[in-house]
Chain A
């Protein structure tokens, strides 16, 4: 039998039973309903809460943490992790993982170095080739995964080693290639003029408001969801104000936001984007409905490879060189951690591209804050580990409590 669903689909709209419970009980029950509402809306509430806690804690330890100058630094630091995390999200949505993005970034940075420094190639052409290189390697991995059915974990683990070899091979015996092209340096080292920042904010703000009004007029959205554009608008204004109080909106951060907006649009408003979610949710149902599962999977790995290369570009630009360590270290794990902290499920089908931004801000925020406190590297790693564990556990526990048990089955199947 079908079970009636009350018209108040939003838990916040439900009228709580009139009881004579103590105020604290009522508060707890309200908090619970709010949390489950937030979760069912698919927002990254635990992640945003962590962000607030990090801000409050580190500000209490160092007044400099929330200063415009440091926040600008933080945004630049977070960009590299966020771009790799964004690539990761495309495959995580399918329920796959890409362990090759670190050395993908390193190998493409090395290729960029060779093209610019040894080959004196025009910078735009070099960037294009570099991104195509990432797309090609990503598709290659995707082919093994989609058509031969080899687990992504294995293919990309092998890819990670292979691409590291490629990176070292391209770099040759010297190990490091300086990249002195001013245009490439500008990608990570410049800021928008203050006035341009404001004009951009105004244009985006007007566009957001206008598109919302249009959608509302068409009757496509509920009044309740009108709060989101307001929040977005306020965030844009605050961010631009903070950046402008320092040196202006950092170019790499702007690139990141542009990538996120495009990725968000594609994942939410196009067939291939929604098919990512469908395959991640139930691959067999998607196949039966007529989704081209193999093509979608291969395309997702092409995108993750391209974004890995884009990460390599930002890293090379930031360092002014491509070396054996570019893309190495904990970059890949930080990016996966960022995607997952931001609310992307490892089992596929759940998450948002914005997880890349929120998660990267958390990971880089902790690193930045601990730097300000003069903590050592060992402490930083341990704290980051704890944060990943706590954030993901919180997310998992809250989801499990509100699930009907089907999800778990679907995740296993």
Chain B
């Protein structure tokens, strides 16, 4: 089993940014097996297993409180599960921290607690993954190149209303902040991207941009897990749909073989 330290060694050969996404059709990218999580006496996750392949989009759906964010937090290394196994590209790993997740190539966009209000767009985008220049004691942040990439990431998401990327994000609208959050997923080519309700609070055009972005990442071979409440949206991007119901996997659908009605039924626990 690879733990964080071993992963670090494993990835040392490919420094600076995480390993490049593999070409499509490269098999399983991430699998979680029998993940269980209790909050006191509330069982948020009950032996949940799921997987996502390279170049695949898996949608995670379920009612409010079904345990979607809890699962995302566990995968991100933010929350320690009570039990469960993780496999990255077929290899068993231990995800004990956000650093571990990053080293195994997992990038997460959370639903909550995403931005530091007092920092600007560039700093939020690169938080804890900053670009540097110089060596030794003069090693310092490379603002110019971070700025450049921020512009690239924002224009990819079609955001033209953010004019000052060096202004604190607290002055921005909810949708602009959400866009900044989603832009994080695109920055460095992480092979596994997990998005918890990335389109919540976005305008119609912005939602389409995010969906297009997901399809573009998918075409590059990124494995994507997307949490969403919007069935229409899911049918636009997902290859497979995993339904969580009261902390358990209720059903798994292939998009090609199912209908929105069937998925909604499973979400409500009818089917």
Contacts and interface: CB of A to CB of B under 8 A. Distances in A.
Contacts, number: 114
A133 interface: no
Interface stretch (B39-47, B116-124, B247-255, B260-268): B116-124
A87 interface: no
Interface in A318-368: 349-350
Given A2-B173, A2-B176, A220-B147, A269 B116 contact: no
Interface stretch (A172-180, A205-213, A237-245, A273-281): A273-281
A288 B124 CA distance: 12
B203 A2 contact: yes
Interface stretch (B85-93, B156-164, B227-235): B156-164
A9 B176 CA distance: 15
B161 A3 contact: yes
Nearest to A279: B116
B141 A282 contact: no
Given A3-B173, A5-B164, A270 B140 contact: yes
Contact of A285 (B115, B159, B175): B115
Contact of B98 (A4, A218, A287): A287
Interface stretch (B26-34, B128-136, B238-246): B128-136
Contact of A281 (B117, B128, B139): B117
B216 interface: no
A270 B139 contact: yes
Contacts of A286: 116, 127-128
B115 A277 contact: no
A410 interface: yes
Contacts of A281: 116-119
A234 B144 CA distance: 28
B98 A5 contact: no
Contacts of A14: none
Contacts of A166: none
Q: Point out which of B78, B98, B127, B129 has the most chain A C-beta atoms below 10 A from its C-beta.
A: B127
A2 B123 contact: no
B113 interface: yes
B186 interface: no
B113 A285 contact: yes
B123 A278 contact: yes
A350 B119 CA distance: 10
B140 A269 contact: yes
A119 interface: no
Nearest to B114: A285
B143 A220 contact: yes
Contacts of A3: 161, 173, 175-176
Given A219-B144, A288-B110, A288-B113, A2 B161 contact: yes
Contacts of B127: 274-275, 278, 285-286, 289-291
B237 interface: no
A374 interface: no
A23 interface: no
A5 B168 CA distance: 13
A129 B174 CA distance: 51
A382 interface: no
Interface in A1-54: 1-7, 9, 40
A284 interface: yes
Given A281-B118, A410-B117, A287 B163 contact: no
A282 B147 contact: no
Interface string A56-84: 00000000000000000000000000000
Contacts of A349: 116-118
Q: Point out which of B102, B117, B164, B203 has the most chain A C-beta atoms below 10 A from its C-beta.
A: B117
A265 B141 CA distance: 11
A286 B110 CA distance: 12
A228 interface: no
Interface in A276-325: 277-278, 280-282, 284-292
A40 B120 CA distance: 12
Interface string B78-120: 1000000000000000000011001000001010011111110
A288 B164 contact: no
B70 to A, nearest CB: 14
Given A2-B161, A9-B164, 19 more contacts: A6-B163, A7-B163, A218-B144, A269-B141, A271-B128, A271-B141, A274-B123, A274-B141, A275-B128, A277-B119, A281-B117, A281-B119, A282-B113, A285-B116, A288-B110, A290-B98, A291-B128, A349-B117, A404-B171
13 contacts: A1-B175, A3-B173, A220-B147, A265-B140, A270-B139, A271-B132, A274-B127, A281-B117, A281-B118, A285-B116, A285-B127, A289-B128, A290-B99
Interface of A: 1-7, 9, 40, 218-220, 265, 269-271, 274-275, 277-278, 280-282, 284-292, 349-350, 403-404, 406-407, 410
The 8 closest A-B pairs by CB, nearest first: A290-B128, A281-B116, A281-B118, A2-B175, A3-B173, A9-B164, A284-B113, A349-B118
